[in-house]
Structure 1
């Protein structure tokens, strides 16, 4: 059993598979930390309109918050849930949160997608596996 489990979510159906496994592995008084990492675009060229970039970043944050809220609703009220929405590079942010929150386990879903989507989604999981010192449970679907 684990006292603190970090569940990163990107809002995809694949990230929902962690719910059942987390409930099996969470200790009685444990905590689930649900994290969604929003992209952040910088207006760093004259061709970028700062207002448009700011609006896009706000939308990314709204989407990330919706992802976290949707995942949190799957758990009943007896589960201690902490919701986090941060901007950054997904793999690095996941590992930083795992370290800062001193989690026992990072639970992350494999997408099972193919082609270019598999490369990008798989690269986040692969990078987390390479840079974390925490235990990672890869959920296949």
Structure 2
């Protein structure tokens, strides 16, 4: 069994990671962790290209930090996982990563770190569950 975990550094994502690690451990599965750097520059006219680049760099640094923590957390369990960072709309990037890795299950927290995105695009976990052709486990 191959499991993809969507992780954004939030406490719910940590719970999703723990759940996926438990499932993988019990069934001899493997884990792919994906972190998506969202595009929050909806209009570069407002802050200019330099401002958008700064926002993007900051979010990428945040994603790198979250993935380092994930790697350390998994090292404690003895589970080795593939770590992936993608750019774009979170739900779409998660679904793309699931297809690319050909996973059997997607595990995602019920809420994430970027609350502003929820207002603009709806719940990422809801969109993943709605549009995925794979099984999705939403962890509360």
Please list every run of 5 or more consecutive structure 2 residues that lacks an aligned counterpart in the other structure: none
Contact between 2:7 and 2:17, CA under 8 Å: does it hold in 1?
Answer: no
**Which structure: larger Rg?**
1
CA distance in 1, matches of 2:93, 2:74: 23
Q: Which structure has greater helix proportion?
A: 2
| Residue number in structure 1 paired with 2:21 | 23
Q: Which structure has greater strand proportion?
A: 1
| Residue number in structure 1 paired with 2:49 | 50
What TM-score, normalized by structure 1, do the two folds share?
0.81
Matched residue count: 132
Which structure 1 residue ranges, 4+ long, deviate > 3 Å from structure 2?
none
What TM-score, normalized by structure 2, do the two folds share?
0.82
**C-alpha offsets along residues 20-75 of structure 1, whole Å, 9 cap, x if unaligned?**
322221133x3211111112226642x43322221211111111111122122111
Contact between 2:105 and 2:137, CA under 8 Å: does it hold in 1?
Answer: yes
RMSD in angstroms over aligned alpha carbons? 2.4
| Residue number in structure 1 paired with 2:85 | 85
SS of equivalent to 2:108: strand
